[in-house]
Amino acid sequence: MVLTLALMKNWRLQKMSEMTALEWHRVLALRAEVFVVEQNCPYQDPDGKDLLSYHLQMESGEALVAYARLVPPGVSYPEASIGRVVTSSLVRGKGWGKELMEVAIAQTKKQFGVDEICISAQSYLLKFYGELGFVAEGEEYLEDDIPHWKMRRRG
């Protein structure tokens, strides 16, 4: 399924079973580029949740430049979740991360029929996610040696 938004950006939303090997390779390459290399955080990326999730992607030419994983309720949290949110260094600082999350929120609500979404946010992004309606809960915790907060968005 291809979603067309303002500014003529084409977003693709797919289940893993609908993706080609090349599309899936681009997803893993972008996630590794940012989470493993840039953030210097070796971790086991494929975690079984990919098989159950929707994958929101935006390409620019041949490059995947924005991605988020939409996780159904009962997998990461009792509520639906958005994870592996990532933008390429090629598009950072241009508002694509905010647009990515706005599309991810709208599609999570639509695909799973929910109004409540939980995320695990890196602590330095609390303000970013707060501006999108997410509220921090509990206490800061380490996930792969990076400080995180559980955040929830209602409505």
Residue of 38, 48, 41 lying closest to 71 (CA atoms): 48
Q: Residue 6: its pLDDT value, please?
A: 37
Q: What is the span of the domain harbouring residue 11? A: 2-114
106 inside domain: yes
Strand partners, 135: 152
Distance CA 14, CA 153 (A): 23
Distance CA 10, CA 144 (A): 32
Task: Tell me the C-alpha to C-alpha distance, in Å, between residue 100 and each of 63, 66, 106, 140, 143.
Answer: 16, 7, 10, 24, 23
Q: How many domains does the chain have?
A: 1
Distance CA 12, CA 153 (A): 23
Cβ 70 vs Cβ 54: under 8 Å? yes
Task: Tell me the C-alpha to C-alpha distance, in Å, between residue 98 and each of 28, 32, 66, 78, 125.
Answer: 21, 21, 11, 25, 11
Q: Note the pTM of the prediction, 2 decimals.
A: 0.89
134 inside domain: no
Which residue ranges in the chain fall short of pLDDT 70? 1-9
133 inside domain: no
71 inside domain: yes
123 inside domain: no
CATH code of the domain in which 9 resides? 3.40.630.30
130 inside domain: no
136 inside domain: no
Q: Residue 32: its pLDDT value, please?
A: 87
Q: Residue 1: its pLDDT value, please?
A: 52
70 inside domain: yes
